[in-house]
Every structure is written in structure tokens, then in C-alpha cells.
Structure 1
Amino acid sequence: MADKKTPGVNPNSNIRSVAIGAAFLMAMAAVGPGFLTQTATFTGQLGANFGFAILICILVDIIVQLNIWRIIIVAGKRAQVIANDVFPGLGYLLSFLVAVGGFFFNIGNIGGAGLGLNVLFGISPENGAIIAAVIAISIFIVRNAMRVMDRTVQLLAVIKIGILLYILWVTKVPFQAAATHAFVPTKVDFYSIVTIVGGTVGGYISFAGGHRLLEGGAQGVKDIKYVNEGALTGIGIASVIRIMLFLAGLAVVMAGFKLDPANPAASIFQHAAGNFGYKFFGLLLFASGMSSTLGSTFTSTSFLDYAVSDQAGAVFKRYRGSFIIGFIAISTAIFYFVGNPAQVLVLVGALNGFVLPISMAILLVASHRQSIMGGQYRHPRWLSWTGWIVVVFMAYAGVRTVMGLF
């Protein structure tokens, strides 16, 4: 029921502050190293036409986040518990899909942070990844870890936006071409749409903010206002960063420069501002890798919690630190011995695009179950209809993508 208390909730939390923290967590998870790589790759391939994929991504983001945050908070339960309420065992499938996708993304996230340190200080990417992993683990194991995580992610967001503002300032941005092709593209590439949507709002990312807000104490219909504040703030922040990075890449591509396929995102900054820009890219990559590592780790491990009582919640809380350390440590070890996460980030983004319609469909079914949402709640029709449109569109785009591979 919607009024049942969720394990681990602190009733004295400042919910509005938590909502802002959830907004930044979701936004920064959505614009991590994967997004940098995907945006640079597809901008190099599609030019201004990639603006259409960015526009679709933002529209899908609005629909997905408002639906998922609202359903989680009104039900007062984590997404996997809701899924089990819809159909026994469905929550375990959802946890598997989200956690596995989050794990592979985390290999790229921690690798991205390591590569950022490599650009900044010349240390090996592998050793940089170990340093980033130690920092991330330290944030999670300190006292008031959730608050420290929130503040860290907010600081990293400021760094990202500042760097992108500088790059746009020193480049000649083709605003007209970007705007025209965003609304009237001359070519629609479904693979780019599935990948960019999956990489920025699919998989674990769509649940990051909702689970953080739930853990911070939000629960029930009375807290919907915090859902709207947090989700719309996060969507706004993520959208601004998406557009800024796309415009920076488009400015470089339309100036006649060819992006390096081995590291397309770095090419954007290097062509725009020389070696100074390349160093800025290193800082941006480190900030992106760290913020997404925090978001991926928090959200993926939260899908291991099926507690529906205070006693069960206490058991999970006791072992949560071990889960977090293991999640980050194994991700780092795989990057250390395998390396080169760029292709993994693009591929996992596409796979997460398939997870999105499945997870959305489950929660949309739950939104109309009184046993889950409570007898007084009615899910807004416009959210239901647009949510199902996203499910159908992403399923269609996913099928088109697979057919295009053969």
C-alpha cells in the first residue's frame, strides 16, 4: 500500500533537498562517459541530423522520468518490489536487466574517470581507474554517505557545465542548422535514437532519481510535488548538457574537422581549443565518469533490495556497503585487465534501449493497480498515454535497429 513505510527511510529528511539531490543524480548519470562517446560518435556520422535524436531523447526523458518517479513514490516501493507485485518473479527479471546493464556501464564509467586522469596528469588509464574507484568507494562508506554523494554530484555538474560553456564560447556554433535538422531531419537513424535514449534514460538511469527520492523519505501522494520538482529539475539539467555537447561537436564537424574514431569526444575539445581544450576534456571526462559511477553504483545495488519490512531492510543495509565495494571493485578490475570501454559504452546504450520499454510497461501496468498505488490515487491519463507511446516507439525502434544489423 502507498502508506506503508519503506525500510531505511529517515522521516526527518529534508525532502526538498533530497529531491534536488535526486535530480542531479539522475541528470549526471544520464550524461556520463557513455553519453560523451555516443554523442561525439553520432554527431560525426550524422552531423546536424543527430539533433533529431537529441530532441527525441529529451521528450522521452520527460515522459519516462515523470512516470517512473511518480509511480515509485506513490507506491512507496522500489521498482523491483512493484514489479513483483504486478506478477511474482517479474521483479527479479527487472533487477537482472537493470543491474547487468548498470554493471557494464560502470566499467565504462570507471574507465572514463581513469582516462580523464590520464589526460590531466599523464598517469595510465588503468591506475587512474583505481584512483577513481577508491574515491567513489570512499564517498559511499563515509558517514552521511547519501548527502556526500548528493553534494559531490552537484559539484561535478557545475564543472561539466562550466567546461561546455567555455568550449561553446570559443567555437562558431551553427545554431540554425542544428535547429532546422532537429525538427526536420533529412535522415533518421534508428540505431542512434535507440542508443542515445538507452544510454541516457534507459536501464538504471531512469530509476536513479526515483530510488534516491524514496530513500530520502518521499512516499505517497502527498510528496508528488517533490517528484515534479526533482524530475523536471533533473531533466532540465541533463537536457542543457546534452544540447551543449551536441552543439560543440556539430561546430567542430561543420568546420571541416574529422573526429578520431578511437576517441571522438576528445577530438571535439582538441579541435575547438587545442591542447588547453584537450585538458578541459580530461577534466570533463573525469567528472562524467565519477558522477556516473556514483549514480550507477547507487541505483544498481538498490535493485538488490527486496525488503518490505523494517527488519528485512536492516539486513540489506548491513550488507549494502559490501555490495557497493564489490560492484565498483569488479568493474574496475575488468577495465584494468580488458580496457577500451568506448565500444562497450555504445553497445550497452543500445541494449539499455531495449530494457526501457520492458521496465516502462511493467510500471505502467502497476500504475493502475489499486493494490499497489492505493485506492485514492489516479494516474494522469496524459502520462499513461504518452508512456505507452514511448513503450511502442522504443520497441519498434529496437526491432528496426536489430533488422538493420542483418
Structure 2
Amino acid sequence: MAAEKDNTTTTTARPKGARTALLGAMFLMATSAIGPGFITQTSQFTMQLGAAFAFAILVSLIVDFAVQMNVWRVLGVSGRRANALANDVRPGLGWVLAALVVFGGLVFNIGNIAGTGMGMQYMTSLVDFIPSEGTAYGLDPRIGAVISVAVAMVVFLVKRAGAALDRLVVVLGTLMILLMLWVAFTTSPPVGEALRQSVFPETTEWVVVTTLIGGTVGGYITYAGAHRLVDAGQTGPEHAGTITRSSMTGIIVTGVMRVLLFLAILGTVMAGAELSEKNAAADAFGFALGDLGVTVFGIILWAAAITSVIGASYTSISFITSSETPDRTRNLMTVGFAALCLLLYLVLGKAPATLLVFAGALNGLILPLGFTIILWVAWRRRDLLKGYVYPKWLLISGLLAWILTLWLGYQSLGGLAELWNS
């Protein structure tokens, strides 16, 4: 029975490079989940539900915990990426999963790149640029997007790309937390009321909960941190303790980011600020800090978007390469992926609405498919876990979350059917 408790082992002190990689994996998970879409959703849902939106955030965090803890544990102990593990379970299954993830990553990355352009526009709103057509302030979003993607490309082209990626996402993630904490403190949100309604909400919108879970756990986001952990080499049963602590810390960081953004906007809503549906978050930050608030929001939006661009590019390419792929080749493929997404953004202007909805629906299918493989390995394929005895409590929590992902997948099938018929 002792072997079933957790199987975590105490490891010796890790070298600085390994610690940086673990930090990078945690923040890559967190920042991938906090992208431009999440910021927009949080603004709109907070305006709609007020403090009751805290319930949706709490549910999403519980599901996030059950999913990510299992994904990190299985991939980390096996030392295999999700696509490779899926092929071990059933040849060809990994390529199906890879195709879904890469397509979703491609479409959403166009949206992420659009977010970087908007972020730079807000960041430079106090600068007297010559406005482009239809742009009243700040840098032209298209120019901002090109600059941002160039920054992302540099990350993957430097000699130690992995270390550069880790440091950048940690710095930007920390910056986002500090800025959101500042704004949340300034707006003085009703924290006690938010805590109460996180458990006893005055109104419950399950559509909101579903949307939030799909946007923060689905698709490539599920695997971003875990794949970085595998690539960093902190794998195997002997690192189970490290994997557990890292995944829990990453989930906490994700939760802190979500809660602070919610509180920052809730404070302005409760203070009576009138927020436009199109620019609710920017209006909220502007209400809290004046003109400087718009610049602060721009920094947060840009940081969220650029880290999501990096996360989507890195994770998508990790699904079509292997551990035998030379680092240089993988990095060049990642740069090419980001460049393709940028080209599509510049041609289309934004991710087409139909494609975004279609990719979002696919995310709802990717989650149960990929998570089924994870749980099957945890339950039946001890050989792939190198003899590791999987904790029963973790498997049970995963099964409960899996049932919810099946319902989300069913909802996604309905969305795909509507798109097909329209």
C-alpha cells in the first residue's frame, strides 16, 4: 500500500539550468492559458455576471488542476510527449492528435498575433504616432504584430533557445502578475463578495463555465508546460516529486493570474464604470489609472499575447517532431510556423470568425481525446510509466474531469454540426 501513496521521491539539488527549465515550464503553462481570448472573455463575463463570475473561475481552476496534474504526471514520468505516447498506445493515434493540435494552434495563433498588435497599439497610446487609416492612436497594429513575431523568432534563433524561452516567459509572466496586482489594489474590488459567490453564486451560467474551460485547458494549452518539462529532461519515476511540485506551482500561477485579472475588472464594474463591449478591459484599466492605465493594459495584453504566440508555436511543432529531431531543426520549424501565422494574419487581417469557432470546437474534441490517452496509460499501461505505480486519488480526480470533458466534446460536436450546416 505504501507504494500507492504518491511514489514521489526526494531528489537532490538540481542545477540552475534545470531549475530555470522547470520555471519556464510552469510559466509556459500559465501564460499559454492567459491569452488575448481569456482577457476578452474575462472582461465580458465580469460585466455580465459581476462577482458571480468567480464561480466559473473556481470551477475552471478545479478542472485545470485535475487535467494538468494528470497530464504532467503521465508525460513527465513516461518521458514521452503526448503524440509519441498516443502512438505507443495505438499506432497512428498520435498523428491524429497532432493534426488536431497543429490546426487549432495555427488558427488561434493568428488571433494571438492580432493580440500582440493590439497590445502594442495600447502600449504606445500616449505616443504621438501618425495614425493609420481607422486607427485613432498608438502604433499601427500590423506593425506591432510584425515586431512582436520578430521578437518571438529571435527567442528560437538564439544559440540557447530553450533557456531564452524559459527566461522570457518567466519575466513576462511575473510582469503580468505585478501589473494586475497593482490595478486590482487600485480598484478595491469586493474580495469578500467574490469569495462568497465563488461557492454560492447568485447566478450560474454553464455556457460561461464551458467557454472558460475550453479556452484555458483545451487544445495546445493542455500540453504546453508538460512538453517543455519533457524537453528539459526532468522525467522518469525518480523525478515524480519534482513533476508534482512543478505542476501544482504552475496551476497556482495560472490561478493567481486569472483571479487578479478578474478582480481588477470587477473593481471597476462595481465602482460604476461604463465599459464598452469592444474594449472593456482597456476601459477598466483606464478607469482605474487614467491614461496610464491604457498603457498598462497594453503591456499586459502584449505580454499575454506574445507568450501565447511562443507557447502555441512551440507546442504545435513539438507534436510533429520527436526527441531525435535536432534542436536547430525544431527551432527553425517553430520560426517557420510563427512566420506562417503572421503571413496569414497580414493577409486576412484577423483569424476568420468561422475558423476561430471551428478551431474552438475542435479544442473541445482534442481535450477528451488526448485526456483519454493520458488516463488509459495511467490506468492500464504501467509499462509505459517505467513501472511507476500511479496514485489512485490522482486517477480518480482525472476520471471525474474526463467525464466533464466528454460533455464538452459533445457540445463541440453540436457546434461543428451547426457550422457544417450553415
Is the TM-score greater than 0.5? yes
- The 1:347–1:261 alpha-carbon spacing in structure 2 relative to 1, beyond 3 Å, is farther
Distance 2:240 2:117 in 1: 38
Q: Pairwise mapping of residues 31-50 of structure 1 onto structure 2 (< 5 A)?
A: 31-50=34-53
Distance 1:341 1:264 in 2: 20
Q: Pairwise mapping of residues 220-235 of structure 1 onto structure 2 (< 5 A)?
A: 220-235=236-251
TM-score (norm 2): 0.86
Q: Partner residue of 1:248? A: 264
Q: Partner residue of 2:396? A: 385
Q: Partner residue of 2:171? A: 155
Q: Pairwise mapping of residues 216-295 of structure 1 onto structure 2 (< 5 A)?
A: 216-295=232-311
Stretches of structure 2 lacking an aligned partner (at least 5 in a row): 1-13, 125-137
Residue 365 (str. 1) matches residue 376 (str. 2): yes
8 Å CA contact retained: 2:317, 2:334: yes
Q: Pairwise mapping of residues 71-150 of structure 1 onto structure 2 (< 5 A)?
A: 71-121=74-124, 122-150=138-166
Question: Could you tell me how far 1:398 is from its partner in structure 2?
Answer: 4.8
8 Å CA contact retained: 1:164, 1:244: yes
Amino acid at match of 1:361: T
Distance 2:59 2:235 in 1: 30
Question: SS at 2:234's partner residue?
Answer: coil
> CA offsets, 1:298-350, max 9 Å, x none?
1111001245xxxxx14x54532332122111211222232345967787556
- The 1:233–1:68 alpha-carbon spacing in structure 2 relative to 1, beyond 3 Å, is same
Q: Percent identity?
A: 39
Amino acid at match of 1:127: I
Q: Partner residue of 1:5? A: none
Stretches of structure 1 lacking an aligned partner (at least 5 in a row): 1-10, 308-312
Amino acid at match of 1:249: I
8 Å CA contact retained: 2:187, 2:288: yes
Question: Could you tell me how far 1:356 is from its partner in structure 2?
Answer: 1.5
Q: Pairwise mapping of residues 281-360 of structure 1 onto structure 2 (< 5 A)?
A: 281-306=297-322, 313-314=324-325, 317-340=327-350, 348-349=359-360, 351-360=362-371
> CA offsets, 1:334-382, max 9 Å, x none?
22232345967787556424422221111110122133222x2111111
8 Å CA contact retained: 1:139, 1:148: yes
Question: Could you tell me how far 1:111 is from its partner in structure 2?
Answer: 1.4
Distance 1:403 1:103 in 2: 22
Question: Could you tell me how far 1:88 is from its partner in structure 2?
Answer: 1.5
Question: SS at 2:219's partner residue?
Answer: coil
> CA offsets, 1:44-67, max 9 Å, x none?
222222111100111111111111
> CA offsets, 1:77-131, max 9 Å, x none?
1110111111121101111121222222211222111111111221110110000
Distance 1:347 1:257 in 2: 34
Query: For this pair of structures, how many residues does the alignment match?
Result: 389
Amino acid at match of 1:264: A
8 Å CA contact retained: 2:60, 2:209: yes
Question: SS at 1:188's partner residue?
Answer: coil
Distance 1:105 1:80 in 2: 20
> CA offsets, 1:224-246, max 9 Å, x none?
12211211111111111100111
Question: SS at 1:396's partner residue?
Answer: helix
Question: SS at 2:187's partner residue?
Answer: coil
- The 1:239–1:347 alpha-carbon spacing in structure 2 relative to 1, beyond 3 Å, is farther
- The 1:303–1:193 alpha-carbon spacing in structure 2 relative to 1, beyond 3 Å, is same
8 Å CA contact retained: 1:40, 1:265: yes
Question: Could you tell me how far 1:157 is from its partner in structure 2?
Answer: 1.3
Q: Partner residue of 1:6? A: none
Distance 2:123 2:16 in 1: 38
8 Å CA contact retained: 2:365, 2:412: no
Residue 64 (str. 1) matches residue 67 (str. 2): yes
8 Å CA contact retained: 2:50, 2:269: yes
Question: SS at 2:189's partner residue?
Answer: coil
> CA offsets, 1:120-171, max 9 Å, x none?
2211101100000111001111011110111111110121112112211221
8 Å CA contact retained: 1:68, 1:207: yes
- The 1:324–1:400 alpha-carbon spacing in structure 2 relative to 1, beyond 3 Å, is closer
Distance 1:21 1:126 in 2: 29
Amino acid at match of 1:300: S
RMSD: 2.3
Distance 2:86 2:73 in 1: 15
Question: SS at 2:230's partner residue?
Answer: helix
Amino acid at match of 1:61: D
